């Protein structure tokens, strides 16, 4: 490819749940030039799926990635999928995009995937997800950081089916109620669907064990809110986002899907934003 050719992007999703379907829907609407969804990896590839993009191949084994001439693999299937698909994805594609960053609470897994990426010349990419963009925090971490606090506020229904139900009565709440405070590692490990994003703020700044996370259930909240506060040699940062929940999964934010669309489009765009 010459310097003047438009890049192409052959893409495979691992998982076809709420996030992947939303990304596929948005890409179909926006038609970024050069982007081709060529495969979707699922556990039960024999089950009929009427919402797949036309021509997409269903696969169920990591070894099948080698047959697809891929440029990017996007994981959106839960943290167990990172260990299952990660090594093959890094050997078969230039980029492995990890949505379930709570998988990196496992230091050994992270180091193993980094080692594979170094040998293969590929990259592990963590999208900014529900945080929109943490470029400022990443830049700030070049100098010493003193403190990073990530507060996650969601309506009670978003915490249903999680350990929060054993810590407070979600149905009886009348005011915002913090129910967990601890490290990003602890938060993401105990609440992988809701606090997965804490791994992103942690690895963008001072790490999983030094980043403090506060989880809050608020009956007055209609959106999933994130506040990241940091201080250090760079100065002070205070970033707040209020995200609409994903229509098909209130535990996730619409911004999670939007950040993946941005990442895909930037891979082929003449201007990267």
Among 161, 149, 164, residue whose Cα is nearest residue 240: 149
Question: Does 226 qualify as catalytic in the annotation?
Answer: yes
Catalytic residue among 31, 45, 150, 226: 226
DSSP states of 124-189 = EE---GGG---HHHHHHTTSPEEEEEEEEEE-GGGGTTSGGGGTS-GGG--S-EEEEEEEHHHHHH
Under DSSP, the state recorded for 6 is P
Annotated ligand binding at 233? The verdict is no
Q: How far apart are CA 229 and CA 238, in angstroms?
A: 5
Annotated ligand binding at 36? The verdict is no
Rg (CA), the chain: 19
Among 30, 38, 114, 23, residue whose Cα is nearest residue 76: 23
Annotated binding-site residue numbers: 130, 196
Annotated binding-site residue numbers for NAD(+): 130, 196
The residues carrying an active-site annotation are 226
């Amino acid at each position: 490819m010459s310097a003047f050719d438009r890049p192409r992007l052959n893409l495979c999703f691992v998982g076809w749940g709420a996030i992947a379907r939303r990304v596929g829907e948005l890409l179909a609407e926006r038609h970024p030039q050069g982007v081709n969804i060529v495969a979707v990896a699922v556990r039960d590839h024999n089950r009929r799926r009427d919402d797949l993009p036309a021509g997409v191949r269903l696969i169920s084994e990591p070894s099948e990635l080698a047959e697809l001439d891929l440029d990017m693999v996007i994981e959106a299937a839960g943290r167990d999928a990172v260990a299952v698909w990660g090594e093959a994805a890094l050997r078969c594609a230039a980029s492995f995009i990890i949505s379930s960053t709570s998988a990196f609470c496992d230091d050994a897994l992270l180091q193993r995937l980094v080692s594979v990426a170094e040998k293969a010349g590929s990259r592990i990419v963590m999208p900014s997800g529900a945080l929109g963009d943490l470029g400022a925090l990443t830049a700030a971490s070049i100098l010493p950081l003193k403190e990073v606090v990530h507060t996650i506020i969601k309506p009670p229904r978003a915490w249903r089916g999680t350990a929060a139900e054993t810590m407070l009565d979600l149905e009886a709440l009348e005011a915002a109620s913090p129910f967990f405070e601890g490290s990003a590692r602890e938060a993401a490990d105990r609440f992988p669907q809701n606090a997965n994003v804490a791994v992103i703020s942690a690895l963008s700044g001072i790490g999983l064990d030094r980043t403090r996370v506060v989880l809050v259930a608020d009956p007055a909240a209609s959106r999933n809110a994130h506040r990241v506060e940091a201080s250090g040699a760079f100065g002070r940062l205070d970033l707040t986002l209020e995200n609409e929940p994903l229509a098909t999964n209130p535990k996730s934010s619409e911004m999670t899907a939007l950040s993946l669309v941005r990442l895909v489009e930037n891979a082929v765009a003449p201007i990267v934003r």
